[in-house]
Amino acid sequence: MEQTEIRKNLWSIAGSEGLKLGIVSATYMFATLLLEKTGMPAFVNSLLTFVLWGAKFAACIWLMRNAMIKFAGLDNSITNRETFRLGMATALLSSFVFSMISFVNVAFISADLFTEQIDAMMQQMAPMMDSNSLSMVDSYLENLPTITFISNLVYCFIFGTILSAILSRNIPSVDPFADYKSQE
């Protein structure tokens, strides 16, 4: 397959799989927000959150692995390096999707929840803080959606890049004895 065709397929697969990965992570985020509002005991809430996190973690690994296998199956000339590039592109696009959804959540959907939590914290901490610290917390609250976007973008991209580096080592599988077989 021609190199431009491989790149075209890479970005096509990375776009669709990145969207899926971003939606899986966003679904987990909203599910945990709903769990907090149910009023369940803390132990049950923590247990369900842990189970949901495990399911999200496994789903992200499974989706990334399947995307790489799908890409490697397109042509026999695709190497581990190209599957790693697919993983990085998928990580970039999925981190962007999830970061945008979390930005919208913090800025618009659950803005009152975050404001209430920070106000409750401020009522407890205000006697111990000076005016500079109080103004810094206020500026933090104003910039919370942007901070959330950037931190999620960086975290998800790094996680996805590490995951793709691990998975791409064996996709496509490499025969370690290929050099010896060709000499026989």
184 pLDDT higher than 70: no
Tens of pLDDT, residue by residue over 57-92, are: 999 999 999 999 999 988 888 889 999 999 999 999
What share of the chain has pLDDT > 70, as a percent? 95
CB 110 within 8 A of CB 33: yes
Helix axis angle for 80-104 and 3-37, nearest 10°, is 40
Tens of pLDDT, residue by residue over 7-32, are: 788 999 999 999 999 999 999 999 99
**pTM tops 0.75, yes or no:** yes
Read off the pLDDT of each residue in 98-107 and give the average, rounded to a whole number.
95
Q: Which of 154, 11, 158 is nearest to 86 (CA)?
A: 11
